[in-house]
Every structure is written in C-alpha cells, then in structure tokens.
Structure 1
Amino acid sequence: MKRITISDVAAQAGVSKSTVSHALSGKRPISAATRERIQQAIDALGYQPNPVAQRLAGGRTKTIGYVFPLYAPQIAGLEMKFIASTANEINLANYAFMLLTHPADDVDNLRRFASSGLVDGFILMQVRLEDARVQFLQQAGIPFVLVGRCADNFGLTYVDIDLAHAMTECLTHLTELGHHTIAYLHQDAGDFGFMYRAQREFLSACEEKNVTSFAYPSKLSYESGADAMSALLQQHPEATAVITWNNTVAWGAIDVAQANGRSIPHDLSIISYGHSSLPYASRIPLTVVDIHPEQLAATAARLLLNKLEGDQDDSQVLLESTLIVRESTAVCPNGLSK
C-alpha cells in the first residue's frame, strides 16, 4: 500500500507543500478556509505525519518522555501513582506519554532517544546531585523538568518535596512521644538528591531537638532493610525509634525487630516514607510520610507543558509532605523523659 505523503495532501487540497507544512507546524499563519481544506484532505487520505520528520523540521510531536529509572523488580503503589498521575495530566493536554525506565546514569540511552525526534520534552525522575542527563538536555536545548533537585539548580525547573519540613514533622512526632534515640535507615544510592537532602535534614532536625541519632544505609529491598535493622540492634540496641526511607525497607526492618523480641510499636516505633501496595503492607498500619506523589507528578507535567507552550518561567516548587499517624508509633518505652 502506497504511503500517503505531504505531496498527496497538497495535491488533494490544491495548495503547495509548504502551505501544508506550515499548517501542520503552526509556524506561519494560514487562513481558516485553507486550513479547513487541508484538514479535509488529511482526513480523506488518512495522512499520518512522520514524528521524526516533524521534529527535524522544527515542528512538534505532542509527545512527552517520562524518564523513571526503576530499581526494583516490581512496580509498587508509589511508582504507579507517579506514572498514572503524570500520564493523566499529559493526556488531558492532548499530548502523548512515553515511559522510559533506563538507569539514571545511562545518559547514552537518553541521548539516542532524544536524537530520534520522537518527543518534545522530558520529565526526569531519580535526580542526582551531578546529573549527566541534565547537562545533556541543557546543551541540546531540549525542554525538561525535574522531579527532585541537583546540587546546583540555577536556571533549572523542578518540583520537589520539602524534606526539611518532612523530617521536622517526623522528629516532632517522635520526641513528643518521648523518643530521644532515633535511627534513620537511609537510601544507599550514591549521589541521589533525595538521599543527600533527607539525610542532611534528619541530622539537622536531630541536632535541633537534642536527639541522639544513628544512620544506616539500605538499598531498595526487603533484605537490605532487614540487614540494616540487624546492624542497628546489634550496635545500638538503645534506639527506640526508626525512620525508613521506603516501605519495602520498613517491612524488612520490622520483621528483624520482631524476630529479636521487639514489639512494634511498644518497644520500637517505626515511621516510613511513602505508601506501598505490596502484600505485607497490611500487617501493621504504618505511620507514614505521605509525599503526595500525585501532586508532585501533576505539577511536573504542568510545568513542562507550560514550557512547551512558550512559558519561559523557570519555576522551582517545593511541596510539603503530610505525616499520617497510624499504629507503628507509640510512647517511648523508657517514658517521656530523656
């Protein structure tokens, strides 16, 4: 079957190829009557513009790339909230959504995809303090928005969680319950912005509230959470509360604590960042830091859509999390005094 080309559309509409091109790209004004005639020809012939050709010609593909590196074998509730909310906001604006899951340090993959001309811009997740993807997109002049922050954010557009507020809420809740020896099982993931800022704000909040603090690294797995809790109990059994950076880590930690005779929350209080849809998440209703992934995702999508529609404002948005108190935190077993 013969491929319908822009020449066929021009012949059908009785106009030049350049007029059809201008009508498709919107780069030059076309009269309403001519535009309608071109659209009728497109509909009659079933013409589909080539997205790569459009991009190379300076046009738009109306497609956004969502770069979300996935480090676990399953997609849990938190990831699905980010993905679904981003896709919904983009689709409402009549843009298409394309999910890319290659690792955050794989800039070559991003470069190859960007050069294909299939997307107009990118939303980047899992942002590093020094992120090669950011440097590439800046140099290439491709619009993008970050969910997270780098070390130097001058001229960057991002949306992120206010981790100072989040950690202060956690420490305030725990100290009001009498806890003054608190550990943080933090992300063990190189120079990710979330990891760096969360650990920094944890230590800052502990210092402000005169809390003895411990920090242990943990990867995104049940086993790593279990190992981190085991090390904590062996080295600092006096700890009465633990904050974990992820629900999966929390459940590994909880199982080890219980296996060592610690009752949750009577002997050890637990707070975790985020929600989970994993099967074991219903055993103990966790006190959690809700980072509002739907709001983060929708805000990032709107910021990028604004850029693509000509808004040059380099917005930098910090959103506040919410501490949801459930059944995994309780009064310190040592009482309300240090």
Structure 2
Amino acid sequence: MGGLSSDTPADPAIVGIVVTITDVAHEAGVSKTTVSYVISNNPRISKDTADRVRQAMRKLGYTVNHTARALSTSKTMTIGLQVNADDNMKVSLTRGAYLCELSDFARKQGYDLLLLSHHNGMQSIRDIANSRKVDGLILMDIDRADPRIPVAVESEVPTVLLGIPENPMGLDEIDTDFERAAHELIDLFTEQHHQEIALLHTPEGTENGGSNFAVRFRQSVVREASDKGITLHVASPEDWDLAPSERLRSTLNRFPNITGLIIDDDNAVISAPQTFTELGMQVPEDLSVAVVVPDVIRDQMRIPYTAIDINLPAVAQEAVDTLVRRIDNPNAPSVTRLVSQPLIRQHSVKSL
C-alpha cells in the first residue's frame, strides 16, 4: 500500500501505513501547527486541545520522528548532562536515581539525554559547544565555586545548574530547598525538647569549596540550631574518607552525650539500621534519628526514620522543563527554583 492522503486517517492495524502529522491534525480537528506545538509541549496550547491531540496520536499509532524534527527545527533534540567525573568513583544512589529521572523527563519533552563525564569538565563543555551536539546543558554535582560555570556562560549553550553555587553568573538554578529542610528538622528536635544533637552529613569534598548541597545543608542546620539554642556537633572532615558505617560509629564515639542525630548522606542512611543493631542501640529509645533522603530510597529500602523526603522526580522535571524553556527563549530572565520537600514522621524522634 502507498502513503496516506492528507484527508485519510491512518489505521495502525494496516501494515505499511505511515501515519503523518497531517493525519493526526485531521483526526483531532486541529491544524498541523497545533499538533507541532503539542509535540514540543508549547504552553500556549490549552490542556483540552493537547489531550485531544495526544489521544489522536495514540489512536493512530503516531510516533514522533525526532531526526526529522531536528532537521526541520535546526535542533539536535539532545540535552547534555555534565557530571563531575571525579565523583563517579564514589557510589551514590541519589546520582543514579537523578540520571534515570532526568533521562525520563528529557524523553517526555522529545529530547535525548547525552551523558558527559569527561575528566576535564571545562574542556568537555567547550568540545560539546564547538561540535553543536546538544541544544542545552544541565550541569550536575555543582561545587560552591564551580569552574565549569564561566565556561558554560562563555560557550553560550543554554545551561541549567542542578545545584546552587556561590555565583551562578546568570544561569538558571534548580535544587532541593535544603534550607527549609534544615529549618523543619531543627524545629522537630526543638519541639521534642532536645538540647544536644549531631549532624552526619554528606562529605563535602573540600573544606573551602565543596559540594554545594552538602555545604548549604550543613550551614543551614548550624544556623537553625544556634537560633534555637540547641548544641550541635558536626561530624569531622577527618572522617569523610571513612566507610559510611564507620563515619556513623565515629560520630557516636566523638559525641556520647547527644540525644539526637540528623543524617544527610544516603549511604550512611542505608547503613544506619544495621550499624545501630551491631552497637546494641534502639531508635528512638537510645537515640532519636531523622534523615534527609530521596523518597524512592526511603521507600524501597524501608528506612524506618523520620525523613525529609527528597522528591527526585520533581527536581529533575523542574531542571529539564527549565532548560527546555531556556532553549526556546535564550534571553529570558534567569530563575532560581528551590523545590520544597515534605517531612515524613515515623516516630523515630522521641520527646524528652
């Protein structure tokens, strides 16, 4: 059989039929331009119209030809994700979950995700800009003074930072609201009348630079504890290279008088129940515990502690959506978006 005429809807059950955007437009009762806008998730299209077009696409078995779309729009329809290659040597369930979520939301926007993990992140950005392999970049594993940021600005590739550096240089920033998380956790320990607690947080990498989210959370917890009159002990940088369970043991040994512990490190969170069992400690009878952890890890690993649940899909979607908007409108004002996360109480912080 040959191709369809512009007035004949496709029947996906008929082998050999090629469904076109014209067929979708005819089935949905809209113009081809409207179908194109729906495919690219253009916000000017109403939800009812978009739903009608997508229903027509499903009925006809229409799939987007990304290669043809890229040629017609002069886009690669590819997003680059630049990660810190040095950190790839460390196991991080959070990073792995982010990669999956970012890839998924990029696909929903019609983009492929290209992982960039060159040992020299700055050169990687220059190379990708010169080759024009991507339409935009997401920079992950942001440090406080990240040397990739000025290179990204210089490259003029639309870029979104998954993290909050000291100076974003006008780039869009997306991250979890760690400041609010710290406020809620210290409020919780205050409500339960705790006077002396400790923080076991994600190793920062370096004391003067450091991974931005770990630094931000530590600083926020210290500030909130001081404001509430709580004595707070922070795990020593000397322990950052220890295994998670050993860092937990070291913290407990260093600060034997604490009544509560906040853990902000997914590896330490996962190892904590076994470590407490080995030490003969009961939570919350012997020690109150609250954690900051991605919701998927807490749920699948059945972490039994009160938690700030980091909704990774929400953060990933915000990062991808912000980048797509930046690609479509390079001159729009830059944005900073912090995604708030819920406090899930699981009775692991007792009242004194």
- What's the TM-score once normalised by structure 2's chain length? 0.70
Partners of 2:188 and 2:242 in 1: CA distance: 28
Whole-Å separation in 2 of the counterparts to 1:71 and 1:325: 32
How far is 1:226 from its partner?
2.0
State the secondary structure of the residue aligned to 2:222: helix
How far apart, CA to CA, are the structure 1 residues paired with 2:220 and 2:305? 22
> How far does the alpha carbon of each residue in 1:173-212 deviate from its partner, in whole angstroms, 9 at most, with x for none?
1222232211111222222211211111010110111101
Structure 2 partner of 1:43: none
Alignment: residue pair count: 278
1:153 aligned residue? 168
Q: What is the one-letter code of the residue matched to 1:261?
A: G
Residue in 1 aligned with 2:141? Answer: 126
- Structure 1 residue matching 2:243: 3-state secondary structure: helix
> Are 2:346 and 1:331 aligned?
no
Q: What's 1:60 paired with?
A: 75
- C-alpha change, 1:113 and 1:156, in structure 2 (3 Å) is closer
- Say whether 1:94 aligns with 2:110: yes
The aligned residue for residue 20 of structure 2 is: none
Q: Distance in 1 between matches of 2:222 and 2:201?
A: 12
Map of 1:213 onto structure 2: 232
Change (3 A) 1:323 1:219: farther
In the alignment, the residues of structure 2 paired with residue 255 and residue 298 of structure 1 have an alpha-carbon distance, to the nearest angstrom, of 34
Instruction: Tell me the equivalent position of 1:235.
Output: 254
Q: 2:336 aligns with which of 289, 299, 316?
A: 316
Matched, 1:106 2:121: yes
Q: Which has the higher contact order (CA 8 A, sep 6+)?
A: 1
- Specify every segment of 5 or more residues in structure 1 that has no aligned partner in the other structure, as ranges: 1-31, 33-45
Match for residue 311 of structure 2?
292
Q: Which amino acid aligns with 2:334?
A: D
How far apart are residue 92 of structure 1 and its match? 2.4
**Paired residue for 2:88, among 71, 75, 88?**
71
Per-residue deviation at 1:127? Answer: 0.7
Alignment partners' CA distance in 2, 1:251 and 1:245: 11
2:88 alignment partner, SS class: coil
In 2 relative to 1, CA 298–206 (structure 1 residues): closer, same or farther, beyond 3 Å? same
Question: 1:260: which partner in 2?
Answer: 279
Between 239-248 and 299-308, report the one with greater CA deviation. 239-248
1:83 paired to 2:99: yes
Unmatched runs of 5 consecutive residues or more in structure 2: 1-32, 34-64
Give deviations 1:2-45, integer Å, cap 9, x for gaps.
Answer: xxxxxxxxxxxxxxxxxxxxxxxxxxxxxx9xxxxxxxxxxxxx
Give identity over the alignment, percent: 22
Q: 1:92 to 1:132 in 2, by over 3 A?
A: same
Tell me if the contact between 1:179 and 1:240 (Cα under 8 Å) persists in the aligned partners.
Answer: yes
Is the Cα contact below 8 Å between 1:226 and 1:252 reproduced in 2? yes
Deviation at 1:74, TM superposition (A): 5.1
In 2, the alpha carbon distance for the partners of 1:122 and 1:91 equals 15
Q: Which residue of the partner structure matches residue 39 of structure 2?
A: none
Q: Distance in 1 between matches of 2:299 and 2:237?
A: 21
Query: Could you report, residue by residue, the CA deviation over 1:27-76 in whole angstroms, capped at 9, with x for unpaired residues?
Result: xxxxx9xxxxxxxxxxxxx9x78x8xx8xxx9421110122345366563
Distance change in 2, residues 1:75/1:131 (3 Å): closer
Residues 265 and 247 (structure 1), Cα distance of their counterparts in 2 relative to 1, 3 Å cut = farther
Q: Give the TM-score normalised by the residue count of structure 1.
A: 0.72
Change in Cα spacing, 1:211 to 1:273, as seen in structure 2 (3 Å) is: same
The residue number in structure 2 matching 1:19 is none
Structure 1 Cα separation of the partners of residues 346 and 235 of structure 2:
24
